């Protein structure tokens, strides 16, 4: 059986690893249009208990990656100059390039060597039994099939940077500027390295003049706006253009011998820190379906969608609620810091009062001392 994976990001590499681990006799090839060290972005965030979701079926990969991860147990929300600590909400981070290199090494151990800097001219003419589209938002696999895609965009603008400064928690810093409120999502992913995403509403973006500036100019303006946070550290660009977050969904996950995973299939807003995890879980579900159907592609692909889509729908729904909250963060900033922090942590609609008390006892105890009732705020 031949399998062609289009895209050598985390999802594509992990698909090759799982497939060859399950069936060493498979002929698995990965084709990637970029170079082996090309990556857009800086750090990758995994929520909750890092890579525990891999351990059931692939402890070797989890053991390979986890020692390289930076972990923290709190979220910090900075609003009106006050830092609110939300305890017990754990995350782990790793450099995007380092994650790719670890997965590349694991794939090589299994005899998989991706072909880089190669663009497939005619995907439908590939002589293979299964084509896995792991080629991201602008997926050529999706563009060559009938997947019933829908794409909408959030209204906020954001730009993705790195910085050579460490932060001791995943932090959300909200500030007022001469042109309106701005927000920075920032978190460390390695010693001396952090991701720094700047976000602002559409009206603030219009007033800022960023749209007509070249990248170095608006980078300098962002450094000035968040000078207190950066403490002299520069912002580091990497394809750092202003964008609006795309909400992609597909009615069909497969078309003939083609199937989609990760950002080629769906997107989840970066504010929930689960994009890479969702892509790897897609791969796990796909390979599990192939095993359950004795590697019969025609039976396995519909089963993959049937089994995975209800779980994914809940996660994507939470991500959409989170991104909608950010689109309105200007309005939320009218709240006092502790009310604002509570609104932030409950923005995705998944934390009941009981669960929040269990996860963040110090935070919820302080809310109670201030007379803020969780049930009333739900």
pLDDT at 25: 96
**pTM for this prediction:** 0.94
Both tokens of 70, joined, read 């930076």
Question: Quick one: what percent of the chain has pLDDT higher than 70?
Answer: 98
pLDDT at 247: 96
Residues with Cβ within 8 Å of residue 4, at least 6 apart in sequence: 29, 30, 31, 126, 128, 130, 131, 132
- The span from the CA of 24 to the CA of 20, in Å, is 5
Q: 43-47 and 82-95: which strand pairing? A: antiparallel
- Whether the per-residue pLDDT at 51 is higher than 60: the answer is yes
- The span from the CA of 163 to the CA of 43, in Å, is 11
- Whether the per-residue pLDDT at 44 is higher than 90: the answer is no
pLDDT in tens, 25-42: 999 999 999 999 887 778
Question: Residue 9: left if φ>0, alpha if ψ -120 to 50, beta else—which one?
Answer: beta
Beta-sheet strands, E only, within the chain: 2-6, 27-31, 43-47, 70-79, 82-95, 130-133, 149-153, 157-163, 170-177, 180-190, 193-200, 235-237, 246-250, 254-255, 258-260
Measured distance between the N- and C-terminal CA atoms of the chain, rounded to whole angstroms: 52
Both tokens of 168, joined, read 């001791």
pLDDT at 376: 58
- The span from the CA of 307 to the CA of 95, in Å, is 31
- Whether the per-residue pLDDT at 149 is higher than 90: the answer is yes
pLDDT at 18: 96
- What DSSP letter does each residue of 258-301 carry, written as one string? EEE-GGGT----GGG--HHHHHHHHHHHHHHHHHHTTT-HHHHH
Both tokens of 205, joined, read 């973006």
pLDDT in tens, 272-316: 877 898 999 999 999 999 999 999 999 999 999 999 999 999 988
**CA neighbours closer than 13 Å in the CB half-sphere of residue 17:** 27
Q: What is the mean pLDDT of residues 251-255?
A: 98
| Mean pLDDT, the chain, whole residue set | 93
- Whether the per-residue pLDDT at 49 is higher than 70: the answer is no
Residues with Cβ within 8 Å of residue 245, at least 6 apart in sequence: 153, 154, 156, 158, 267, 269, 270, 323
Tell me which residue has tokens 């990969």: 61
pLDDT in tens, 198-242: 999 999 999 999 999 999 999 999 999 999 999 999 999 999 999
Q: 180-190 and 193-200: which strand pairing? A: antiparallel
Q: What is the mean pLDDT of residues 134-160?
A: 96
DSSP state of 233: P
Q: What is the mean pLDDT of residues 368-373?
A: 91
- The span from the CA of 59 to the CA of 18, in Å, is 11
- Whether the per-residue pLDDT at 378 is higher than 60: the answer is no
Cα angle: 69, vertex 106, 112; to 5 degrees = 145
- The span from the CA of 122 to the CA of 325, in Å, is 41
């Amino acid at each position: 059986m031949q399998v062609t994976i289009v895209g050598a990001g985390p999802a594509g590499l992990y698909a090759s690893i799982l497939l060859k681990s399950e069936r060493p006799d498979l002929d698995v090839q990965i084709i990637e249009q970029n170079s082996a060290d090309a990556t857009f972005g800086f750090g990758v965030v995994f929520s909750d208990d890092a890579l525990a979701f891999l351990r059931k079926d692939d402890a070797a990969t989890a053991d390979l990656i986890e020692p390289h991860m930076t972990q923290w147990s709190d979220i910090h929300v900075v609003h009106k100059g006050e830092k609110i600590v939300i305890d017990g909400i754990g995350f782990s981070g790793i450099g995007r390039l380092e994650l790719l290199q670890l997965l590349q090494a694991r794939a090589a151990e299994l005899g998989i060597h991706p072909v880089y800097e190669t663009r497939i001219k005619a995907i439908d003419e590939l002589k293979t039994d299964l084509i896995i589209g792991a080629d991201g938002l602008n997926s050529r696999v999706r563009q060559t099939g009938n997947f019933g895609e829908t794409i909408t965009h959030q209204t906020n603008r954001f730009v993705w940077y790195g910085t050579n400064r460490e932060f001791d928690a995943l932090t959300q810093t909200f500030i007022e500027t001469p042109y309106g409120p701005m927000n920075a999502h920032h978190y460390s992913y390695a010693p001396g390295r952090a991701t720094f995403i700047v976000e602002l509403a559409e009206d603030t973006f219009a007033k800022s003049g960023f749209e007509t500036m070249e990248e170095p100019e608006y980078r300098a303006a962002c450094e000035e706006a968040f000078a207190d946070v950066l403490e002299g550290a520069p912002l580091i660009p990497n394809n750092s253009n202003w964008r609006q977050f795309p909400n992609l969904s597909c009615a069909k996950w497969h078309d003939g011998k083609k199937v989609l995973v990760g950002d080629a299939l769906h997107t989840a807003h970066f504010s929930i820190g689960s994009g890479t995890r969702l892509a790897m879980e897609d791969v796990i579900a796909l390979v599990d379906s192939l095993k359950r159907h004795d590697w019969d592609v025609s039976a396995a692909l519909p089963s993959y969608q049937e089994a995975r889509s209800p779980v994914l729908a809940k996660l994507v729904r939470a991500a959409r609620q989170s991104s909608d909250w950010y689109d309105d963060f200007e309005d939320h900033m009218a709240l006092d810091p502790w009310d604002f922090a509570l609104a932030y942590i409950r923005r995705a609609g998944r934390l009941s009062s009981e669960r929040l008390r269990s996860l963040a006892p110090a935070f919820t105890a302080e809310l109670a001392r201030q007379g803020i009732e969780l049930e009333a705020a739900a």
